[in-house]
Structure 1
Amino acid sequence: MYAKSNPSDARANNRRLLFQLLFPGRQLSRADLCKETGLSRATATDVTGEMIDDGLLRELGSGPRDGRGKPGILLAIDTNALRLVCVDLSRPYVMTGAVMDLRARIVERRERVLDDGDRVDLDDVLSLVGQMVQLAGPGLAGIGVAVPGVISGSGTVISSAHLGWSDVELRDLLEEEFSLPSCVNNDANATLLADRFLGHGSSSCLLVQIARGVGASVLLNDEFVAGDDHAAGEIGHVVIDSDGPICACGKRGCLETYVSAVALRDRIRKDPHHRTETLTEAGTRLGNALAMPTSLLNLRDIVVYGPPDVAGETLLDACRETVNALSRNDYQSGGIRVRRCELGDDAALRGQAISVLHEIVGRR
């Protein structure tokens, strides 16, 4: 049975829809918003007025005249009234916190070096969030944390091997500690969200994240694929060669043993003269691994996020050639594009800000 929607659901969806049309930097009149959404003028006026009162939108003044009528007042996202706090726990040896505006731009940032490499103490996370809350000031609207691992829909970290966490109810802890709407996401999902709205992404896309391990995230028609156990995208320990090297998980030939940044840098360090061959092989193996899911889901956009010394054109070219050779069909128009995410080290932070925005725009 489907749950019945109610007027508050429709209002929240309308707010999110209008905010998304203006995010990150568009300027549209209420008439423009009506044309793009099909909402009535009365509904658009009511909802945008409410969002202006909440500090989400602002009026800019008259736009260009369209026809013989009076020019409309342009609306844009208000970048002055409210702030967000986001923390990224996905990078080795460092936690990064940021105060951000409603266009997911960093206003203030702080970093804390991790004494134990990857291991993160929960109290240290809460301390960093508290520091950023103080920097944000009275206009703080919400908090977000990007975590490597399996995250439930309720913001519980089910498992994060890199952080040494299991069953940590992080969202509840944040909301109890700071009394603000909070959002906890997988770091690959956050990065894909940033690529979708701030980069060159499409509404249906597969992101591969090459870091300490190998993870993935899938967006279908602007909806994330979570899976029954919230573990969709955990592809690093899928065996691609049963006779391959021993993986940290105990199996042989996991994708991670061939494609992770750690594995590739180690191989290149040991044999620097064959760097191109090493990266080409990694790209070919990645393309082999991705051919099935891209065909299964009819995806034409793959984005790779990772350090440029390994996730560069050599690896991407080999991946692109392989995945197209293995998955091309006569009914497909054009090929599958394989491209690099170009948002830098702050991609997860900025994507997490977008997640928080989705929550607060619908709540306020």
Structure 2
Amino acid sequence: MLQNKIWNQNTIKNGNKTLVLETIMNHSPISRASIADKTGLNKGTVSSQVSELLDEDLIYEQGPGKSSGGRKPVILLFNEVAGYSIGIDIGVNYIFGILTDLKGNICQEKSLTFNKLSFDEIKEKLFEIVDCLITSAPSSTYGIVGIGIGVPGATNKNGKVLLAPNLGWQNIDLKTIVENRYDCPVIIENEANAGAYGEKKFGTGVDDIIYVSIGVGIGVGLILNGDLYQGNDGFSGEMGHMTIQADGKTCRCGNDGCWELYASEQALINKADQFGLEMADENDILQEMVGMAEDGDQEAINLFKTIGDYMGVGLINIINSFNPQQVIIGNRITAAKKWVEQPLLEKVNKNALWFQQNHLEINFSELSGYTTALGVAAFSTENFFKIYKER
């Protein structure tokens, strides 16, 4: 039943048509004459390509526009509801999914939390989320054009999760597993990389962004000179596992003194018993601690301040290494912004090289918990148009 709502890769094969489509996507509402001006194609070519795109339901006409003399031009717009993309953010203790149209507008969302489940158990919860989103998708020409999944771990360019230590995953071919169930294109990406792209596309839009995703772990996504930097094999951004304490605690990755042990929710979880929360679900500890801090509990406030200070320690290394325009902090730690922000900024201001700070902004994400899901949904939509262009 679900397969009827999934794109079957019917695509176009004409380069001029792709150029016309991209021009309409980027500049709509637009007339045929304006398309010809922007692309350099002759009006006859534009007209024939527009006719095919109308037949394929990727664009539509909307009444006459303003005339500078003579007949009023017919205005063309991109049909963003010709298909839908699914974006999934898998966290250490949650799954969050969204359904977007081809412009990235969120049409539906679904989430659930869990605690210390096996891969097979998480896989079934993932399928539950995806099934729900597919079922909720409105009828459209192309249906579900792809599924993007962000994972808190190292993923290679073939969609394999090599290591997600906080989930206990190793060498999981998640792409194949999901494609076999849904028979549509699937993209697997590190959740921080996806978050960085989500911020670039739907948030700040600047060309040099460091996105720091802080939940139970820490991941870092790098937008450098306007492009997502993935490294030689796709493993960039594992900065939650840089050593900031030479003789520190042992991390789940096997190393000692990793940044995420001191600057993420793990620091709260490790102190839970001191606050009478030793029996609490790990999902609830952050919110419980936020509640205590809001009520004026000085020990909770001090713990958040310590976490903020450690967040600053890691950021100094990142800032001095990459000289970004903007650092954006996202994921669940944003709930504690009130207490972590000031010590973080003080640490950076005091210890980052002064010339690195001249044009630097440090912000908390305004996309809330949507950043990663929006990023992987956008990857899937762009993959649809890439295949569309190549066929």
Please give the TM-score of this superposition, normalised by the length of structure 1.
Answer: 0.79
Q: 1:246 to 1:166 in 2, by over 3 A?
A: closer
Q: Which residue of 2 aligns with 1:356?
A: 380
The CA distance in 2 between the partners of 1:112 and 1:233, in whole Å, is: 26
Give the letter aligned to residue 166 of structure 2.
Answer: H
Query: Aligned with 2:232: secondary structure?
Result: coil
> Which runs of 5 or more residues in structure 2 are unaligned?
1-12, 276-296
Q: Which amino acid aligns with 2:176?
A: D
Deviations 1:36-71 (A, max 9, x none): xx6324487676665554444434344455x66876
Matched, 1:125 2:126: yes
Structure 1 position 355, deviation (Å)? 0.8
Q: 1:328, 1:335 within 8 Å by CA — same for their partners in 2? A: no
CA separation of 1:313/1:127 partners in 2, compared to 1, >3 Å: closer, same or farther? Answer: closer
Q: Secondary structure at the match of 2:134?
A: helix
Aligned to 1:149: 153
Q: Cα distance, 1:187 vs. partner? A: 1.4
Deviations for 1:155-194, whole angstroms, at most 9, x for unmatched residues?
Answer: 2222222333322222233333323222222211222222
**Cα offset, 1:208, TM superposition:** 0.4
One of 331, 337, 345 as aligned partner of 1:320: 345
Partners of 1:9 and 1:147 lie apart in 2 by 35
Name the Cα RMSD after superposition.
3.6
Give the Cα separation in 1 of the matches to 2:17 and 2:167. Answer: 35
- Rounded to whole Å, the distance in 2 between the matches of 1:313 and 1:70 is 59
Partner of 2:60: 58
Rg larger in 1 or in 2? Answer: 2
1:77–1:102 CA contact under 8 A, matched in 2 = no
TM score, norm. by length of structure 2: 0.74
What does residue 101 of structure 2 align with? Answer: 101
Q: Which residue of 2 aligns with 1:279?
A: 304
Q: State how far apart, in whole Å, the 2-side matches of 1:57 and 1:313 are.
A: 45
* 1:326-337 equivalences in 2 (<5 Å): 326-328=351-353, 334-337=358-361
Q: Does 1:259 align with 2:251?
A: no
Kindly tell me the number of residue pairs found equivalent between the two proteins: 349
The Cα offsets for residues 80-132 of structure 1, whole Å up to 9 and x where unpaired, read as 3212233332251x433433222323323344554745754435434543443
Higher relative contact order (CA 8 A, sep 6+): 2
Tell me the residue number matched to 1:87. Answer: 88
Distance 1:71 1:245, change over 3 A: farther
Q: What secondary structure does 2:39 align onto?
A: coil
| Alignment partner of 1:39 is 2:39 | yes
Amino acid of the structure 2 residue aligned with 1:237: H
The residue matched to 2:240 in structure 1 has which SS? coil
Contact 1:268–1:274 under 8 Å retained in 2: no
Whichever structure has more helix as a proportion of its residues is 2
Q: Give secondary structure in 2 for the equivalent of 1:240.
A: coil
Segments of structure 1 that go 5 or more residues without pairing to the other structure are 1-7
* Contact 1:311-1:340 within 8 A present in 2 as well: no
Task: Point out the more displaced range, 308-317 or 76-85.
Answer: 308-317
CA contact under 8 A between 1:304 and 1:311: conserved in structure 2?
Answer: no
Structure 1 pair 48/158, CA: closer, same or farther in 2 (3 Å)?
Answer: farther
Pick from 224, 228, 231: which aligns with 1:224?
A: 228
Query: Judging changes above 3 Å, is the alpha-carbon distance between structure 1 residues 51 and 186 closer, same or farther for their aligned structure 2 residues?
Result: farther
Percent identity, please. 23
Q: How far apart are the structure 2 equivalents of 1:280 and 1:31?
A: 59
Given that 1:210 and 1:311 are in contact with CA atoms closer than 8 Å, whether structure 2 keeps it comes out as: no
Moved more, 310-319 or 200-209: 310-319
Checking the alignment, whether the CA contact within 8 Å between 1:156 and 1:167 is kept in structure 2 is yes
Contact residue 14 and residue 47 of structure 1 kept, 8 A: no
Task: After TM superposition, give the deviation of residue 213 of structure 1 in Å.
Answer: 0.7
Range that drifts further, 173-182 or 123-132: 123-132
Deviation at 1:204, TM superposition (A): 1.7
Q: Partners of 1:305 and 1:32 in 2: how far apart?
A: 40
SS of match in other structure, 1:312: helix
